[in-house]
Amino acid sequence: MLDEMSDEALMLAYREGDAAAFEALYRRWRGRLYRYLLRQCGNAAQADELFQDIWLKIVGARRGYEVAAKFSTWLFRIAHNRLIDHYRTQGRAALVSLVSYDDDPADADRVAALPAAASSQPEAIIERKALAHELVRHIEALPAAQRETFLLSEEGELTLEEIAAATGVNRETAKSRLRYAVNKLRAALREHK
Amino acid sequence: MSHDDTRDEQLSRLYREAAGEEPSEAMDRAILAAARAEAAPVQPRKRAWWQTWAGPASVAATVVLTVTLTLMVQQEQEHAFIEAPPSKGEAADSAEKPASPPPAVKQEAAPAPKPLARETKAEPAAPAGALAPRAPMTEPAEPAADAVELRARSAPLRKEAVGAAPARTPEQWLEDIRRLKQQGKDKEAAEALADFRKAYPDFRLPDDLR
């Protein structure tokens, strides 16, 4: 029964004290949120810390929860803000990279410049699994804002409007970032094929 | 999902094949435990037995203490009136001044028979510790008239303490009145008795003087 409920209905049930509803909701989103954070931080320990903070925020917001947006948009909005706080403590460069609207075409060079990790094993490159891992490496090499937009699209399954709402930008900016990210990844994968 | 030209299904499929990282089970347990704790109904904190009874017990103790203190203070005051000897100044004062009996008796002082004059004269010479009221106090009081007599006895003491009047016990006063009656001075005896009643309204009069 819980599996058939929407995210928002589950969160409302949790607001009323149904802990099982929260568990169902958590199981739905735990992996997606974790990978979003892991790709953004590049560090499992930091991802763990952020992941826990974000879910505890959700838990803490239980009593005042109202359905004002899709649960996933709300969740990733919290995650985005928590990441900004994290970057602030890490240094200005990372923060500027995340909030920058600059989609410099030169960024594509950074992806193209990545060393071919499996170049010494040409047979393995053919294998799809290796290609997938290569894709992850390229994603991690994207500029933070483009990477975040791509991850929100893939992991969060958010629309452009929802990505814009979660990251605090307008739809066109979100669209531009996503287009850049996808084009760079396509190009990088073409080079490995 | 309509991302138009920003969506690449092949890219998405490939990414999902690679994206298998998940949080640890320990993390899952910690977060779910926190979620359950937050949703758990708030249990009213059970109070220890001594906390439950602390309020009523303190109120009862306060009441008992207050009542005890009040009774003790009342008893102390009564004892103070009865037992307190006059100060040196008062004793000396009474020794220097001539005896001044209550007004009713004063009127009788001139024609008074010798015994009365002797008594009034002798009073000032008595030592402070042997004031007249002391003697009746040692007498066993009638059980029913305890309170009346106690007040009657303490009255002259109070008078002496304030006005240094010569002490005369109610019994002595009544004896004087009785003597007046015996001498046929009924009017004076009646007036003296009226004065006596004013001075000792609670005193139980002997049958022969009623």
Does residue A55 contact residue A26 with C-beta atoms inside 8 Å? yes
Q: Cα B58–B60–B66 angle (5° rounding)?
A: 100
CA–CA distance, B184 with B186 (Å, rounded to integer): 5
Greater confidence, A132 or B29?
Answer: B29
DSSP B198: H
pLDDT band at B54 (very low <50, low <70, confident <90, very high): confident
ipTM field: 0.80
Average pLDDT over residues B174-192: 89
- Residue of B6, B30, B31 with shortest CB distance to A179: B6
* Chain B residue numbers touching A30 (CB-CB < 8 A): 22-23, 28
> What value does the mean pLDDT take over residues B13-24?
88
SS (H, E, C) A79-141: HHHHHHHHHHHHCHHHHHHHHCCCCCCCHHHHHHCCCCCCCCCHHHHHCHHHHHHHHHHHHHH
Higher-scoring residue by pLDDT: B152, A89: A89
Return the pLDDT at A89.
Answer: 83
CA-nearest residue to A131 within chain B is B14
- Quote the pLDDT of residue A99: 57
- Mean pLDDT within B24-37: 94
Q: What is the mean pLDDT of the segment spanning B132-157?
A: 45
Q: Has residue B91 got a pLDDT over 90?
A: no
State yes or no: pLDDT of B42 exceeds 80.
no
The reply to whether B33 touches chain A by the CB within 8 Å rule is: no
Among B3, B23, B39, select the one facing A17 at the smallest CB separation: B39
For the cut 70, the answer to whether the pLDDT of residue B112 exceeds it is: no
- Give the span between the Cα atoms of A85 and A89, in whole angstroms: 7
Q: Note whether B43 contacts A: Cβ–Cβ < 8 A.
A: no
Contact B19 A35 (CB under 8 A): yes
Question: Is A154–B1 a contact, with Cβ atoms under 8 angstroms apart?
Answer: no
- Interface A-B, measured as beta-carbon pairs within 8 A, has a size of 103
Contacts of B2 (CB under 8 A, 6+ apart): A159
Paired tokens of A47: 């991802």
Pick among A23, A39, A127 to test the B interface (most B CBs inside 10 A): A23
pLDDT in tens, B117-139: 444 444 444 444 444 444 344 44
Q: Say which residue, A27 or B144, is predicted with more confidence.
A: A27
Tokens encoding A88: 């602030």
pLDDT at B145 over 70: no
pLDDT band of B39, cuts 50, 70, 90: confident
What stretches in chain A show pLDDT beneath 50? 101-103, 105-109, 112, 114-120, 122, 125
- For residue A10 the two structure tokens come to 């589950």
- Closest residue on chain A to B42 (Cα): A17
Most confident range, picked from A85-94, A145-154, B38-47, B143-152: A145-154
The pLDDT of residue A176: 93
Q: Do B14 and A34 touch (CB under 8 A)?
A: no
CB contact under 8 A, A51 and B23: yes
Please answer yes or no on whether B32 and A26 come within 8 Å at the CB atom: yes
Report the residue of A16, A26, A72 to disrupt the B interface, i.e. the one with the largest count of B CBs within 10 Å. Answer: A26
Chain A closest-CA separation from residue B9 CA (Å): 10
- Listed in sequence order, the residues at least 6 apart from B156 whose beta carbon sits closer than 8 Å to its beta carbon are B132, B133, B167, B168, B169, B170
Domains of chain A: 1-99 (1.10.1740.10), 101-193 (1.10.10.10)
* CA–CA distances in Å: residue A159 to residues A27, A49, A69, B98: 22, 27, 13, 121
